[in-house]
């Protein structure tokens, strides 16, 4: 699937179901279950590699996993849109560095790259977009900034909320085509979603975003201490396919996230 088809879905009011995906087997299964976006997240540093944070993940490791996911999704007949994370240290130095890193991930099979940060990255986002790289921005809790913020909910006071909303507007203005909102109050996510034309994808950001993303291992009940906003969809599902289809259905119908998954 290419970006205009995805944007048409979101523009028509359909909620986008997004899961992280790191290998070909799950790419086949997730695609067959109707997941709209496969996010090759740098969360693989934790889920696959066993690190405590996403920080050790390298660009070459992201390219390796993106290639595997792209092969699996193609085998399943396409259909899913692939977003790959630019890992820590692969884009912050300069727009040129970001372009070289993004080009590696697009060549590996990504349809879009994601980077973490606000207006400070506006020039980089614009540089990428003007050179044909679709960009997803990521605001709120930024796992690559864990050494500064910890894994805590963000934008909880009026000043920080205002800053986040203004960052979102600026990133859209310079060409970002999607925005992940992580661990922010649901009223702020609602406001940002209403102000922007691009789709917002929430994780711990309430029900008003245009789509929802979760880490695959969290919905499969494989995470020892999952975040409060996640949900184990394997309970009563009977099979991996059942659990993944239950997630897709819950997102599409608006049943997930419920009030217990937001703040």
CB neighbours (10 Å) of residue 259? 9
Choose among 1, 47, 2, 3: nearest CA to 21.
Answer: 47
Q: CB-wise, 41 or 72, nearer to ligand KIV?
A: 41
Question: Of the two residues 29 and 113, which places its CB atom closer to ligand KIV in the complex?
Answer: 113
Q: Determine the number of helices (DSSP H) and then strands (DSSP E) in the chain.
A: 11, 8
CB of 165 to ligand KIV, least distance (A): 19
Six-digit token string for 24: 């070909």
Look at residues 115, 143, 138, 116 and name the one whose alpha carbon lies nearest to residue 52: 143
Nearer to ligand KIV, 130 or 177 (CB): 177
Binding site for ligand KIV (CB under 6 A): 20, 39, 41-43, 85, 180, 182, 203, 213, 215
Rounded to whole angstroms, the Cα distance separating 56 from 125 reads: 23
Rounded CA-CA distance 211/191 in Å is: 15
Residue 49: φ, ψ to 5°: -95, -15
Give me the catalytic one of 7, 60, 182, 260. Answer: 182
Ranges assigned E (strand) in 58-184: 81-85, 112-116, 135-140, 178-182
Considering the complex, state which of residue 74 and residue 223 has its C-beta at the smaller distance from ligand KIV.
223
Closest residue (Cβ) to ligand KIV?
Answer: 41
- Known catalytic residue at 182: yes
Catalytic residues: 182
């Amino acid at each position: 699937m290419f970006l205009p088809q995805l944007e048409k879905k979101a523009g028509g009011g359909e909620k986008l179901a997004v899961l992280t995906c790191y290998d070909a087997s799950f790419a086949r299964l997730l695609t067959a279950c109707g997941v709209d976006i496969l996010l090759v997240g740098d969360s693989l540093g934790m889920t696959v590699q066993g690190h405590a944070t996403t920080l050790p993940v390298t660009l070459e490791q992201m390219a390796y996993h993106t290639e595997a996911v792209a092969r699996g999704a193609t085998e399943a007949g396409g259909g899913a849109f692939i977003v790959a994370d630019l890992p820590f240290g692969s884009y912050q130095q300069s727009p040129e560095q970001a372009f070289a890193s993004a080009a590696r991930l697009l060549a590996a099979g990504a349809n879009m790259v994601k980077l973490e940060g606000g207006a400070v990255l506006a020039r980089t986002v614009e540089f990428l977009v003007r050179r044909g790289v679709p960009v997803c921005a990521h605001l709120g809790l930024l796992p690559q900034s864990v050494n500064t913020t910890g894994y805590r909910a963000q934008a909880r006071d009026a000043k920080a909320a205002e800053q986040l909303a203004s960052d979102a507007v600026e990133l859209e203005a310079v060409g970002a085509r999607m925005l992940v909102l992580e661990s922010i109050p649901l009223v702020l996510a609602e406001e940002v979603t209403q102000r922007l034309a691009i789709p917002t994808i929430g994780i711990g950001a309430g029900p008003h975003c245009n789509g929802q993303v979760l880490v695959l291992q969290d919905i499969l009940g494989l995470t020892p201490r999952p975040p409060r906003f996640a949900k184990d969809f394997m309970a009563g599902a009977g099979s991996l396919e059942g659990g993944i289809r239950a997630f897709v259905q819950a997102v599409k119908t608006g049943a997930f996230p419920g009030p217990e998954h937001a703040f």
